[in-house]
Structure 1
Amino acid sequence: MIPNVQSFRTSERLSRHAHRLIPGGCHTYAKGDDQYPLLAPGFIERGFGCRVWDVDGNEFIEYGMGNRAVGLGHAHPEVVRAAQRALPNGCNFTRPSPIEAACAEQFLRLIGRAEMVKFCKDGSDATSAAMRLARAYTGRDRIACCADHPFFSTDDWFIGTTAMDAGIPEAVKALTLTFRYNDLQSARTLFALHPGKIAALILEPARLDDPKEGYLQALRQLCHDNGALFVLDEMITGFRWHAGGAQQLYDVDPDLSCFGKAMGNGFAVSALAGKREFMRLGGLDHTDRPRVFLLSTTHGAETHALAAAMATMHIYESEPVVEHLYRQGLRLRDGIEDAIRRRGLADHVKVLGRPCNLAYAALDGECRPSQAFRTLLLQETIRRGVLMPSLVVSYAHRDRDIDRTIEAVDEALEIYGRALEDGVEHHLVGRPSQIVYRRYNTPTAQAAE
């Protein structure tokens, strides 16, 4: 079914209502109205497998997968049953539940390179706890994050490095430095400019590009040579690159690492994991160093979320999930790239990243990144029943879903080609989408709120 303008009427009404109650109309910037075309589903009512249905009854094959948090597919029966079995016994108690130790044991067995773990609810809590722990261990204030990786935390230490830094003290901003990915010299320069001041470097093991041969190992050694901790953000790479994380795939031992996203297949659970030498500072047994207030979240060990995580990890351990992600991602990439070539658009539309975690770039007539052309491609694939803010596959994507998606993208590329000839404004309904990190809203965005 190809949705038409009228089919989003309920979404439009709900959006107006939500914007009066919620800043931005939703609770995650990446899900905001400004990230999508005007002709887009505003509210998703339910999902199953790789498909979602909006409040107007439109059905879509989906490739956002809950911002990569749903690796097995929406409402995976085994994961749902595990959470349901836990809920009748209560989800939060005054003392720990046995499932906390059981889940920790399973997680550490799967990851393999960490010795202790602490659970929380989102990635920001985990990465911020890692930075606090690194500062406590080293006695240093400055940290460095990779400038080429878009998001590490909602907290001040990271958001202060973006254009949306309003409300963050200058003194806090000054404590976070940045370095470039796959550029060892940029990290060396930081250590030379701030000798004995940097507590940790944090980066994703990979994003669109793989690390150069030996880069991660050399960066780790550089950190240790300078008395800093080496921290990997595995929110996305964990459970996608490899069931044990990208640290297993690339054979590198981080001091601390942070997991989340697909760890609970959509249920709220994340983790800070690391070597005992560092993690113990958040415990009760050490007397040689000050105590670290390492993560003390009321809801961090809710039993149903940990049960969902255990079921999810069991599936990753016992079934070829990661292999499926690579296979289907490769099928999707090859099919779309073939359509791009046939349409003569190889200079204007590009598929990026590893097959298990694909993205795409939309470029204008001068081959410059274009929000307008990206929005047009989103608009035209949505018209054809595909919701693809990215090209992230799940364990639920079957061959027929991939083939239907390739067909939809091929048809959308025809419109893209016309827009290059006679102007994108003649094909795009309404305003383009916008980047999240912008200092001011445009008048159009303000009107939406």
Structure 2
Amino acid sequence: MTTQYESPAVTAFTRSAAAQARLHELVPGGAHTNARGSDQYPEFQTPIIERGEGARVLDVDGNWFVEYGAGLKSVTLGYGYQPVVDSVMEAVRGGVNFSRPSIWELRAAEQFLEMVPTADMVKFAKNGSDVTTAAIKLARAATGRDLVAICRTQPFFSVDDWFMGAGQMPAGVPSAVRELTVSFAYNDLDSLEAVLAEHPGRIAAVILEAATGTVEPAPGFLEGVRALADSDGFVLVFDEMISGMRWSSAGAQSVYGVTPDLSTWGKALGNGYSVSALAGRRELMELGGLNTDASRVFLLSNTHGGETTGLAAYLAVAQAYRERDIVGIMEAQGAKLRDGLVSVLAEAGVGAHIPIMGRASALVFGTKDHTGAPSQAFRTLLIQELLKRGVLAQSLVISAAHSDDDIDVTIEAFRGAARVYADALAAGTTDGLLIGRPVAPAIREFAAPRRLGA
């Protein structure tokens, strides 16, 4: 990369603060995604991004940051990855939306099903919520059942009513809809069996992530869920939004050797471009097609489903994964990052309070207070100190664009932040060190009393 980055030291967020305040006047929540909200960052450090290059982003105040969790984990090749840009521009020049399917749709479908051989058919969309909801609709149509069982120990599956009504933000969802979703615990086959026993013959779908960034499937768990699907008749859905393209280009299902009936994909498919996918068994997918005698499902029929830029981006991403071991690169760089951070945190005496957890390609950090309890205030303090040192990190989810230099900058930022964290631990409080209010959970029922410009 040829860009000459400014010093990692960050001193001002003046323009960002003004832009964030204006966003709050115009956009509910001040952002178009909860996880990007100003309540997720220290009160006076809410950078508004101008552009990105590789693994770094530039805010409107001219500050460069090494960034993690890029595009909410959707960017695995880095910002401005030229082959993706070129592919998208080729599509743009030829027109992005037509009255008939474009050749991009055929190319993308062929490529996806070659990449994910456990699926028979695929249908593309623009966001993850649409395809997970489509999977639930197919399951209900196929089984004639109405209940959905979600993994309650995993955070998010959809913005749609079937999921949101069962969580922390049910406002606007009718109670009758809320009652159609039940839950079980990850790695607890007994809890799923109990749900099936409580609602015999009523569970249409069981949806879960095969694994998360911090928790691997216990031996026999996924196999047990698959066996229950076969015996009970519910449709097994794997959410591959994060694990697809991070665990493997063929998804977590290929890593663990358990094939779902349907799987849902998004995020890294397009390196940040808008594209998602529903894939699975032909007999289920055809319920939304023309080759069925059953009552048809209105499946992912929307104006922009075949829009070409996301499909073109996906094809370039798939090509990159064929040419290089992108997953291997992320795992190697993530392991290097993890080892370096564990070392500097131990040196500062805060290793037990800032645990580094998860798969190397999807690392996260914990933040505990002086009592060892998880703490939003201490999390905010750590993010605050990292921002000061040129690192933008809600997580440590890496990309293949993170260079050794990016990792070195991050380790040094943590070294400095750890000293401040240690002072807070010694004092038993973040008072006097944390500027402003603590961050809040992204999904919660009531808004915290934060300044709108924060």
TM-score range, shorter chain: over 0.9
TM-superposed CA distance for 1:420, in Å, is 1.0
Q: Does 1:100 align with 2:105?
A: yes
Q: Does 1:404 align with 2:404?
A: no
**CA separation in 2, counterparts of 1:442 and 1:327?**
39
Q: Does 1:38 align with 2:43?
A: yes
**CA separation in 1, counterparts of 2:76 and 2:174?**
37
Q: Deviations over 1:298-339 (max 9, x none)?
A: 111111211110000111122110000100110111111111
SS class of match (1:326): helix
TM normalised by structure 2 equals 0.97
Q: Does 1:136 align with 2:163?
A: no
**CA separation in 1, counterparts of 2:9 and 2:50?**
16
Indicate if the aligned counterparts of 1:243 and 1:317 stay in contact, CA closer than 8 A: no
TM-superposed CA distance for 1:112, in Å, is 1.2
Q: Does 1:62 align with 2:67?
A: yes
Could you tell me which residue of structure 1 aligns to residue 255 of structure 2? 249
Could you tell me which residue of structure 1 aligns to residue 3 of structure 2? none
TM-superposed CA distance for 1:346, in Å, is 2.6
TM-superposed CA distance for 1:437, in Å, is 2.1
Could you tell me which residue of structure 1 aligns to residue 449 of structure 2? 443
TM-superposed CA distance for 1:38, in Å, is 2.3
**CA separation in 2, counterparts of 1:41 and 1:30?**
12
Could you tell me which residue of structure 2 aligns to residue 279 of structure 1? 285
SS class of match (1:373): helix
Q: Does 1:311 align with 2:299?
A: no
CA-atom RMSD, angstroms?
A: 1.1
**CA separation in 2, counterparts of 1:4 and 1:76?**
26
TM normalised by structure 1 equals 0.98
**What is the one-letter code of the residue matched to 1:356?**
S
Corresponding residue to 1:191 among 171, 192, 196: 196
Corresponding residue to 1:169 among 174, 183, 189: 174
TM-superposed CA distance for 1:342, in Å, is 1.2
Q: What number of residue pairs does the alignment pair up?
A: 446
Indicate if the aligned counterparts of 1:359 and 1:392 stay in contact, CA closer than 8 A: yes
Indicate if the aligned counterparts of 1:110 and 1:317 stay in contact, CA closer than 8 A: no
**CA separation in 2, counterparts of 1:406 and 1:387?**
13
Indicate if the aligned counterparts of 1:205 and 1:232 stay in contact, CA closer than 8 A: yes
**What is the one-letter code of the residue matched to 1:290?**
S
Q: Deviations over 1:79-99 (max 9, x none)?
A: 000000111111000111011
Aligned pairs (5 A) from 1:131-280 = 131-207=136-212, 208-280=214-286
**What is the one-letter code of the residue matched to 2:410?**
T
Corresponding residue to 1:81 among 86, 89, 98: 86
**CA separation in 2, counterparts of 1:410 and 1:448?**
30
Greater mean alpha carbon deviation, residues 44-53 or residues 400-409: 400-409
TM-superposed CA distance for 1:163, in Å, is 1.4
Greater mean alpha carbon deviation, residues 99-108 or residues 339-348: 339-348
**CA separation in 2, counterparts of 1:4 and 1:198?**
52
**CA separation in 1, counterparts of 2:333 and 2:10?**
29
**What is the one-letter code of the residue matched to 1:48?**
E
Q: Which runs of 5+ in 1 are unaligned?
A: none
TM-superposed CA distance for 1:273, in Å, is 0.2
Could you tell me which residue of structure 2 aligns to residue 53 of structure 1? 58
Could you tell me which residue of structure 2 aligns to residue 16 of structure 1? 21
Indicate if the aligned counterparts of 2:10 and 2:390 stay in contact, CA closer than 8 A: no
Distance 1:4-1:357 versus aligned 2 partners, 3 A rule:
closer
Q: Percent identity?
A: 48
Greater mean alpha carbon deviation, residues 182-191 or residues 394-403: 394-403
SS class of match (2:222): helix
Q: Which runs of 5+ in 2 are unaligned?
A: 1-6
